[in-house]
Amino acid sequence: MSQLARYSPVLSALQGVREAIPLLGGYIPVSLSFGLIATQAGFSTWEAVVISTLIYAGASQFLFVGMVAAGSPLWLVVAMTMLINVRHVVYGPNLAALLPRSRHWPWLMHGLTDQVFALALTRLPQLPDAKRFSWFVGASLLAWGAWIIGTAVGATAGEAFTARWPLLGEIMPFALPALFLTMVAPRFTDKRWAMAMGLTILAALGLTLVGWSNVAIPLAAACGALCFYTVRFDNRRRDS
Amino acid sequence: MSTALWLAVVVSAFGTLLMRVVPFMWMQRRLDSDTGMNAMPQWLGILGPLMIAAVLGVSVVPVNPGLISWIATVIGLGVTLLVWRRLRSLGWPVAAGVSVFGLVEIVAALVG
């Protein structure tokens, strides 16, 4: 029996859905907040939902509605939104060898967020080739759907929701660092990778704490890459 | 929303989509080409895992940073790591970490 016949696309997509569930811990609270903030900034519920559906990039959406509410010129709003999202250009090439060729990628890549990228880069190499396309579709559609629904709920009932369960909005987002920790942990067996990754994590943490969260991901990754290329460990002593 | 604002949404959305699609398609074409350009540049392969580490660094900051939430974060990450070392999977370590993080936050809220 061929490999394709053995793997059902539906089951592979459901596996992607199941494995993307931890992402919702971060997506739901943040999309609720976005819906709430967008309506407070003067956008209607369906306008907020359209922004989440089309732009679908957390930090830049907050910036977009914030700048519009502040009366910034629209060309500047667009330029800043693009600038924040420019980090996405390195995600696709990293997944290119892991995913099969398909004419659907031009629209499916809309689902390539920071979190979906991290999950896909970790899981795809462990999956058989025949499962990967459906797995990506399942995982990315769940994340996109949750983001849109979360925005709609936040825009219509965000205030009541956060007032009723204030701790939930603090606890659920912890799913993201927990998930990413399980993704980076395997690299810590190698000294060179451990040092580069440790520096990247600390740099991103530091930049976020000083309020530079919008540029923290590319800057911290660049620091880590610099460390990876400049610091080399001598293995000769072990061999002798 | 005004027409100009709708246009700004569409341009931002289309620009973001291009940043996601074009590099992906470019790399798939490069991998398929017969001109010897079929290997992914080494720096891209290094940048990928480092981007995940950076996303971890950004997301590790609690929603409301304070002594309790930082303690809960450290304990939660510790439990996540311990469960991961035993099971080497993604789901259970995350569930355990979130449960313990939530427990610390709830206990602290009840005590305080």
Q: Is residue A87 part of a domain?
A: yes
- Residue B44 sits at the chain A interface (C-beta within 8 Å): yes
Q: Assess whether A126 and A38 both reside in one domain.
A: yes
- Residue B63 sits at the chain A interface (C-beta within 8 Å): yes
Report how many domains make up chain A: 2
Q: Assess whether A225 and A152 both reside in one domain.
A: no
Rounded to a whole number of angstroms, the distance from the CA of A142 to the nearest CA of chain B is: 16
Rounded to a whole number of angstroms, the distance from the CA of B106 to the nearest CA of chain A is: 8
- Residue B2 sits at the chain A interface (C-beta within 8 Å): no
Domain final position from A172, A203, A220: A172
Q: Assess whether A91 and A200 both reside in one domain.
A: no
Q: Is residue A180 part of a domain?
A: no
Q: Is residue A227 part of a domain?
A: yes
More confident residue, A6 or A54: A54
Asked if A82 lies within 8 A of B15 by C-beta distance, the reply is yes
Residues of B in contact with A123 (CB under 8 A): 90
Please give the ipTM for the structure prediction: 0.84
Q: Assess whether A131 and A39 both reside in one domain.
A: yes
Q: Assess whether A100 and A163 both reside in one domain.
A: yes
Rounded to a whole number of angstroms, the distance from the CA of A125 to the nearest CA of chain B is: 13
Rounded to a whole number of angstroms, the distance from the CA of B86 to the nearest CA of chain A is: 12
Return the exposure string of A109-133: e unless at least 16 CB atoms fall within 10 Å of the residue's CB, then b. bbbbbbbbbbbbbbbbeebeebbbb
More confident residue, A29 or A75: A75
Q: Assess whether A139 and A232 both reside in one domain.
A: no
Q: Assess whether A109 and A224 both reside in one domain.
A: no
Q: Is residue A183 part of a domain?
A: no
Domain final position from A122, A142, A172: A172
Return the pLDDT at A1.
46
The CA angle A172-A176-A179, to the nearest 5 degrees, is 120
Is it the case that residue B112 has pLDDT exceeding 90?
Answer: no
Is it the case that residue A237 has pLDDT exceeding 70?
Answer: no
Q: Assess whether A28 and A121 both reside in one domain.
A: yes
Return the pLDDT at A240.
39
Amino acid code (one letter) for B111: V
Q: Is residue A78 part of a domain?
A: yes
- Contact between A55 and B13 under an 8 Å Cβ cutoff? The reply is yes
Q: B40: left (phi > 0), else alpha (psi -120 to 50), else beta?
A: beta
The residue in chain A having the minimum alpha-carbon distance to the alpha carbon of residue B42 is A94
Q: Assess whether A117 and A60 both reside in one domain.
A: yes
Residue ranges making up the domain that contains A77: 3-172
- Residue B99 sits at the chain A interface (C-beta within 8 Å): no
Asked if A87 lies within 8 A of B51 by C-beta distance, the reply is yes
Q: Assess whether A129 and A233 both reside in one domain.
A: no
Share of chain A above pLDDT 90, in %: 50
Is it the case that residue A201 has pLDDT exceeding 50?
Answer: yes
HSE of A169 in the Cβ direction (CA atoms, 13 Å)? 19
Q: Assess whether A154 and A76 both reside in one domain.
A: yes
Domain final position from A172, A200, A224: A172
- Residue B43 sits at the chain A interface (C-beta within 8 Å): yes
Q: Assess whether A101 and A18 both reside in one domain.
A: yes
| A97-145 tens-digit pLDDT | 999 999 999 999 999 998 899 899 999 999 999 999 999 999 999 999 9
Q: Is residue A181 part of a domain?
A: no
